[in-house]
Amino acid sequence: MHRKLAVLLPALAVWFALTLAALAAGPNGTLSVQLYSWTERTYTPAAADVVALTLNGSSLQGDVPAMVQGGRTLVPVRLVGEALQVQVLWVQQTGQIILTDGTDLIVLTLDSATALVNGVPTPLPDGVPAQVVAYGGADRTMVPLRFVSEQLGAEVTWDQASYTAHLTAALPEEEPETSVPSPEEPEAPEEDGPKVTGLTWEDGVLAIAADHVPDCRITDLGDRVAIDFLNAALGEDFSSIRVESPYLTGVRCAQHGEGFYPDSASTVRVVLDLAAGATAAGNLTIATHAGGVTVTTHPAPALEPVTPVDPQDYTIVIDPGHGGDQSGACYEGVMEKDIDLAISLKLAAILQDYGYQVILTRSADVDVGLYERAELANAAGADLFVSIHANAAEKRPDYQGIYTYYHPSSRRGARLAQAIQTPLCQITGAVDRGIEDADFVVLRETEMCAVLVETGFMTNHQELMRLVDDGYQQQVAQGVARGIVDYLMSAE
């Protein structure tokens, strides 16, 4: 009898535990998942109750479902971000997830119980952080549903009986582009306000004329590019034009009123429709100037270089700016040192693939002195030194664009700067602000040809969003690499 009880009691205990687990599980079932620790780089098994998700009454599903962890509903960030029509960016080096709807910016860091909302530290409810969850062969970044949704203006209600989270959001609808303002739109600025006065098209160049120095926002929308003139109105004689181009299929214009941009009483939007296969980065160069905006169309530059006879004869030092306690510029929760390193690592990989000898002054988040960077390059007998930075103009948040600097005593530096600046602006589509001389330590103390590239302005929200985007960082790296190879070829 005692033997039977000895066998039966463990079996009853297992049955009892499973029964309790089944009773405690949510009505949508329970998953076995792996929780990834970003700080420790380890996975831990866990159970998670499945949450059904709807948006404006329609089911919202992804390859990894919404689930409950730590008493909070977590959802895949791409799933909810794209559903709410906001931009989602990922910063690999720092484990940051950035969401923006053009007005508000949320920065979450994996495993951190604090988020940044428009630059303000904000504790997450119950301290439940964003985290990576592995399930069904997929790793997905999960974020707290209610916190993220409500920060982005959506309402969340919970149905306990069905374990369903219901999202309600007023999603933006793309406004039709017309050649003249519609009567329903808010009134344009006063007659003597800034005007966008006309369009001309000649030899592959679109000129958008303005009677002022424009404050522009340029947005790559994939199959089209939007150029927004803030606090401006269409001139009385303004009219649309037809273009014939292998890269553009049309140009559309519209007047928008207050609310289209939070800091603009009215906005003129010019939309460039791209032809099939054309890209903003590869086929357009957009430059702002005192009389408006010029859009130059051109074939995409070839990214595969014809390298010198033996690239292994050249040693190139890539210098990611700042690092460690020296964060550089910091805006909207993003640090310059992380942008610099991300672009530099991509640039080094491209050059190494071409066969060049590449040395990085830093390959991790460490502080290296300015003189030490130059000494490292000198000791290596390097042929070129390229320092990567991001810019800032605190008093001019409208500033966008790329500069490349060289030392005033170096004619070779000036040639290298121009060789990099031209393809870099073509490939990225960034505003070309030209080359300048400067007495920077890393340019003055290096014995070889040296330049410093300011890849964009972190103080401009739109450009900052591009600088933290992995795809755009790759374009910057490709542009700099193209310029380096062009310079070395011409030096042969």
d(CA 232, CA 226): 15
The H or E element that residue 217 is part of is strand 216-220
Q: Which residues make Cβ contacts (< 8 Å) with residue 39, sequence separation at least 6?
A: 111
Query: Any catalytic annotation for residue 454?
Result: yes
Of residues 181, 190, 184, the one with CA closest to residue 239: 181
First to last CA, the chain: 95
The one-letter amino acid code at 222 reads: G
Q: Are strands 402-406 and 432-437 parallel, antiparallel or unpaired?
A: parallel
* Cα separations in angstroms, 81 against 55, 103, 117, 468: 12, 14, 16, 17
d(CA 466, CA 98): 12
* Residue 18 token pair: 């499973």
DSSP code, position 107: E
Q: List strands edge to edge, sheet with 357-360.
A: 357-360, 315-320, 384-391, 449-457, 402-406, 432-437
Among 177, 336, 445, 454, the one annotated catalytic: 454
> Looking at the annotation, which residues are catalytic?
454
